Amino acid sequence: MPGFSFAAMSELTEKLASLQQRLARALETAGDERALEEARAVYLGRSGDVAAIRRSIGRLPAQERPLAGKEINDAVAAMEALLERKREEIASRAIDTALSERIDVTFPAPEPRLGSIHPVRRVIEDACAYFERHGFAVVLGPEVEPDYYNFDALNIPPEHPAREGFDSFWVDETLLLRPHTSPMQIRTMQLHRPPIAIVAPGKCYRRDAVDARHHFQFHQIEGLLVAEGVHFGHLKGMLTGLCRALLGPYQNVRFRPSFFPFTEPSAEVDTTCPKCGGGAAACAMCGGSGWIELGGAGMVHPNVLREVGYDPKRLSGWAFGFGAERLALARYEVDDVRRFIDSDPDLLEQLA
């Protein structure tokens, strides 16, 4: 071939052959995709060995360049093929490894996490059990109630300002989500002849802003005793006993004068802060007051007894409505009612 420089061409061929050998040797120890990429960069990368050779063909006579280019391209193809073969080998080795893995059926399994009774439910159950021990029956009622049971029958006529206090979720003109469990007083007395001794736990709803002490959905425990000769002392005794049964033997109760249309006299009921025992200035539970507010209570209003056809001259009764979450906060020393609906398994497990 005219002008063909045999020396230059054979040197090129030799260089390319030795590169291929070095690549083959490097690939022998390559164990993963990353090692392949590193090898590719060294030999075939933009600043790799082959690129350097390619740049040097500019020094060859013009008529030799096409042949040199073809030699380089062939060498590159061969090296790519080496890389590809190695890649397949690595992949199939990974599959073999995965397939050869065995499941050791004797290996100890992770313990399943057991559920527990929710603290609010436990308070309700224990409160009901306390009253059942004293001869009370547990009754349940609807969460959607006509205004008659929620208000009218409880001595709260349509324009009565006390309706505002029960900021309610209305379903339509006359139906609402019950803002308290007191409708169960009416339902029970309409259904049964006295004496009446019931507790009625359940969900209640109010359009309250959510904070550490309030939620728009909560639970109340209603209690009602109607018979001849029932007086306020019986109420004090039963509620003191309830607090001691739930919160500990040193609990006391305090009655603050209050107003409910369906009781007279009426009271707000507090119990001793179980955390500080009453009166530690820095107590986070009671804010230093020494008392935790549980709910309302009082002697059943004569109008309520009359509404259900009972004779207020012969019969008297007491009623109370306690917040179950309030009792649970005090009992489990939790600082925020929202913690009860977080479904935090750690908290629930800890309180179980």
Per CB under 6 A, the segment of 70-78, 89-97, 319-327, 333-341 that binds ligand PHE is 319-327
242 to 81, 159, 176, 284: CA distances (angstroms): 84, 36, 30, 24
Residue among 122, 132, 118 at smallest CA distance from 241: 132
Residue 215 interacting with ligand PHE (CB under 6 A): no
Nearer to ligand PHE, 180 or 215 (CB): 180
Residue 149 interacting with ligand PHE (CB under 6 A): no
- Give the chain's length: 352
Per CB under 6 A, the segment of 104-112, 115-123, 271-279, 293-301 that binds ligand PHE is 293-301
Nearer to ligand PHE, 182 or 188 (CB): 182
Among 186, 225, 319, 330, binds ligand PHE (CB under 6 A): 319
How far from the centroid of its chain's Cα atoms is residue 304's Cα? 41
CA distance 315 to 194: 8
CA distance 214 to 180: 14
Among 298, 305, 308, 324, binds ligand PHE (CB under 6 A): 298
CB of 351 to ligand PHE, least distance (A): 25
CA distance 32 to 89: 10
CA distance 192 to 227: 12
Nearer to ligand PHE, 251 or 266 (CB): 266
Residue 261 interacting with ligand PHE (CB under 6 A): no
Torsion of CA 86, 92, 96, 98, to 10 degrees: 110
Among 261, 290, 296, 317, binds ligand PHE (CB under 6 A): 296
What are the φ and ψ backbone dihedral angles of 149, each rounded to 5 degrees? -75, -35
CB of 264 to ligand PHE, least distance (A): 10
Residue 326 interacting with ligand PHE (CB under 6 A): no
Strands, sheet with 253-260, edge to edge from the N-terminal-most edge strand = 137-138, 196-205, 217-227, 316-323, 291-300, 263-272, 253-260
Contact 266, 257 (CB under 8 A): yes
Contact 185, 154 (CB under 8 A): yes
Among 183, 202, 295, 317, binds ligand PHE (CB under 6 A): 295
Residue 182 interacting with ligand PHE (CB under 6 A): yes
Among 218, 260, 291, 310, binds ligand PHE (CB under 6 A): 260
CB of 288 to ligand PHE, least distance (A): 25
Output DSSP code: residue 136.
P
CA distance 166 to 80: 80
Residue 297 interacting with ligand PHE (CB under 6 A): yes
Q: How many residues bind ligand PHE (CB under 6 A)?
A: 11
- Rg, Å, the chain Cα set: 42
Nearer to ligand PHE, 50 or 199 (CB): 199
CB of 341 to ligand PHE, least distance (A): 20
CB of 222 to ligand PHE, least distance (A): 6
CA distance 283 to 59: 90
CA distance 227 to 181: 20
CB of 220 to ligand PHE, least distance (A): 6
H or E segment and range at residue 176? strand 175-177
CB of 183 to ligand PHE, least distance (A): 9
Looking at the DSSP bridge assignments, the partners of residue 295 are: 269, 322
Nearer to ligand PHE, 180 or 219 (CB): 180
Residue 321 interacting with ligand PHE (CB under 6 A): yes
Residue 150 interacting with ligand PHE (CB under 6 A): no
Q: Which residues lie near ligand PHE (CB under 6 A)?
A: 180, 182, 260, 263, 295-298, 319-321
